[in-house]
Chains A and B, each alone.
Chain A
Amino acid sequence: SQQGEEDPQALSIQEGENATMNCSYKTSINNLQWYRQNSGRGLVHLILIRSNEREKHSGRLRVTLDTSKKSSSLLITASRAADTASYFCATEGVIQGAQKLVFGQGTRLTINP
């Protein structure tokens, strides 16, 4: 399965600290994406990194991708209470001839005020 595995499963930090979440996957990919989900609602796309990119920034988010290790990390700097959510990585690639997006298990992030 191409499913990403994320760690940690849960992370609790103080407001203002940085949060780092990791994602590993098994097969070749076209790109890797990170999504946020608040309280069981719809997912919001955060950032996409292509397989030929190594690092990408968007505001307080920094994503890295190491295709040799089949892993990615999401760093949220200067965390805020509003960052409390579940974060999912998703890998896009060709599975059985079709382009598909496969989600990891997610990291539940809690920011304590």
Chain B
Amino acid sequence: SAVISQKPSRDICQRGTSLTIQCQVDSQVTMMFWYRQQPGQSLTLIATANQGSEATYESGFVIDKFPISRPNLTFSTLTVSNMSPEDSSIYLCSVDGAETYEQYFGPGTRLTVT
């Protein structure tokens, strides 16, 4: 299994500002995933980040709003840009198991936009 850490664990931000969330994995992985979980809701995939290529975004999510970096095989960042209160959510990163299909999740970043 993979151990994943995220920073920050939570933040309160003003509307119009941007926040960058970091995700660190204790092993090298090909793909990293970013999810959003709005209050009381399920997880929605934002994008898949492969090292060395541009992230692949899901319908409804765009690079200008959620730019992603993947500089190496153990690290990724997600930026939430020009935030509004509707961006208040938990943001989670995850990775695939090395030989299995389950995903391992970080502890999440709880974002509140005022």
Contact = CB atoms under 8 A, between A and B. Distances in A.
Contact of B92 (A31, A42, A92): A42
B101 A43 contact: no
Given A103-B43, A105-B42, A48 B90 contact: no
A106 B102 contact: no
Contacts of B106: 42
Nearest to A101: B103
Given A43-B103, A101-B33, 15 more contacts: A3-B42, A40-B37, A40-B108, A42-B4, A42-B105, A42-B106, A43-B43, A43-B105, A44-B105, A45-B102, A88-B43, A98-B56, A103-B43, A104-B42, A106-B42
A2 to B, nearest CB: 12
Interface in A25-58: 30-31, 33, 35, 40-45, 48
B34 to A, nearest CB: 13
Interface string B70-114: 000000000000000000001010100000111111111010000
Contacts of A104: 42
A106 B41 CA distance: 8
B43 A100 contact: no
Contacts of A45: 102-104
B45 interface: yes
A88 B42 contact: yes
Interface of B: 4, 33, 37, 41-45, 48, 56, 90, 92, 94, 100-108, 110
Interface of A: 3, 30-31, 33, 35, 40-45, 48, 88, 92, 98, 100-106
B92 A105 contact: no
A35 to B, nearest CB: 8
A103 B108 CA distance: 16
A33 B42 CA distance: 14
Contacts of A92: 101
